[in-house]
Structure 1
């Protein structure tokens, strides 16, 4: 049975966490990125499909390759981030099912030849893993700047060419500059968006 975590941890993961719009010039070690992923991988996905794929852009050259595909409002803050993660989802996830879902060796047949089912399943579960990614990054001491403002087809061509991986979203990582955080926007209250039946 799961135990509640302490209030300070909830603050780190949710209440005090903010989307970052500027970054301190502090590098992020590879070991921290590995630690981040080693938390993400434990989050549940349908039939353990794990469709998320990640490109961690740390070099100036890699970020310059991304820059032409960013919206104008996202370019500066993305280029100054210590790390930019391209979060993708693999449309050939089902090819790995014999290894990662070993107790049902027929699981590939649930997806083979069903492109709409593949797309929906990969995107849904890749998005779940993207949410885990943000929480894991915060848990290991990184700030996040997730964003949508980019040309997905351009990013796919630049970074996933020759694969069946599609870009879901981008997430800058590092240590945020508190002076560049926007005021917190309002959130809906429970009764506005939830219903108990």
Structure 2
């Protein structure tokens, strides 16, 4: 949640946590952008007018880049034309003043719409994998992975930042025995890096294999 009013931010944070949500808060857009760059979220809540500018422009920019995490604008800009502008890019729009119970219900609905199955999902930073559904996202953006790319990424996430040997990654993705000199894993890792995009999180550990950090 991005909100520059300290009292309101703390109150909403407490209410959402009391309803069972895990919540990160930010007082301005740069802080929110930093959190979104390293974490995956099922829903985001933005005040429209923040010190760094109108969050609508920020959300529109990220939407054009393919970001699809559900967004709710929680704002005092309640005029009909403002709501229409907001809903061009956001999934929901709630004016201030508001009822906390209504906010909780709307956030819960957006989380169900946008989130993976958190009971079975794996997370590291902004990457979320749901092995049961073969679904993957980074920072809310769906990743179109092949079965082998998914298997390698899953093995790396399960290592929790520790290096994984090449032989283990090959065993995770290929049933057949491959010659040790084969570069098929290197090709797959290059493709996976491209799909994950920046900033880089998939690193080579010389003489060992790869790690995700």
Larger Rg computed on CA atoms: 2
TM-score when normalising by structure 2 = 0.21
Structure with the higher helix share, 1 or 2: 1
